[in-house]
Amino acid sequence: MLTRSEAGQLARQRAYRVLLYFLMFLGCAIMLLPFFWMLTTSLKTEAQAMRMPPMWIPSKLHWENYILAWNRAPFGRYFFNSFFVSIASTVGEVFTTILAAYAFAKMRFFGKNALFAILLGTMMIPGEMLLIPNYVTLTRLGWLDRYEGLIIPWIVSVFGIFLLRQFFRAIPDELWDAARIDGCRRSRFLWRIVVPLSKPAIFTVGLFKFLGSWNAYQWVLLMTNSEKMRTIPVGLATFSSDIGTAYHLLMAASVMAIVPILVLFFFTQKQFIQGIARTGIK
């Protein structure tokens, strides 16, 4: 039998929980609204897509938008390129980031801190400023309209190095001392002990890289001229012009473009959330 004060406390707790769930539901709804609009717009006619105020659910579902959108550009090739470039860039960046972050976190060498400060300083330079110099450099290397130009410049990330360095620094030095006593070399220690312990952070670096690469538009457009080298975001841009946008087709193509990302997120959300929680990224 609950006392009156206990019953009151329980009621307050229930009310608090209801309020909490309501706010979370509201937050979810707000976050999902653009996706819902994207999905329903992909099934509208052009006129319905332009309607103001927006028509949320079309009277008839126009699945043919997906076929029309698919046929507007060589999306099959774009998907292949997006996958190939994103995976190669991610693998490359994770590899170089692990090596650099370990060196900055655990090794002693002359000018380490100064070098790290310089490296961080490069983050202050807006990417747009470097577009043309990088384009000129890669053109001279003969990497225009080639996978090398889309992948190699992006396999190093200062942000990734910074993130992993912070994570690696939290790993106790005693582990290295113990490993060294057992005759372990640095490379073995890195790949067999440090990396497995840092999986969430490495996953985060990889996932951010994959997303960034999947969504990359300006660089791909700049570095490529032929359809066979272009990626999905370039395909999406063809639905817009300065005078208007074919929203219904753009949204159909966008739905197709985000499906792989959603699948990736469903399979990796645990690591993704852990990585964010442990590395403090917001």
Q: Which residues bind other proteins (CB under 8 A)?
A: 46-48, 50-52, 72-73, 131-132, 135-136, 139-140, 144, 217-218, 221-222, 225-226, 234, 237-244, 246
DSSP string, 56-115: SS-SS--THHHHHHHHHTTHHHHHHHHHHHHHHHHHHHHHHHHHHHHHHHH---TTHHHH
CB of 66 to other proteins, least distance (A): 15
Q: Cα–chain-centroid distance for residue 150?
A: 16
Q: Which amino acid is located at 260 in the chain?
A: P
Give the Å distances, CA to CA, from 93 to 26, 45, 132, 155, 159.
37, 42, 22, 4, 11
Residue nearer to other proteins on the CB measure, 184 or 237? 237
> Residue 13 or residue 139: which is nearer to other proteins going by CB?
139
- For the bound state, the minimum distance from the C-beta of residue 216 to other proteins, rounded and expressed in Å, comes to 13
Which CB, 39 or 144, lies closer to other proteins? 144
Decide if 108 contacts 175 (C-beta within 8 A): no
Tell me how far, at minimum, the Cβ of 30 lies from other proteins, in Å.
22
Distances (CA, A) of 143 to 87, 182, 194, 212, 222: 19, 46, 35, 21, 12
Distance in Å, CB of 144 to other proteins, minimum:
7
48 vs 97 by CB, closer to other proteins: 48
Q: Which is nearer to other proteins, 140 or 185 (CB)?
A: 140
What's the min distance (Å) between Cβ of 221 and other proteins? Answer: 5
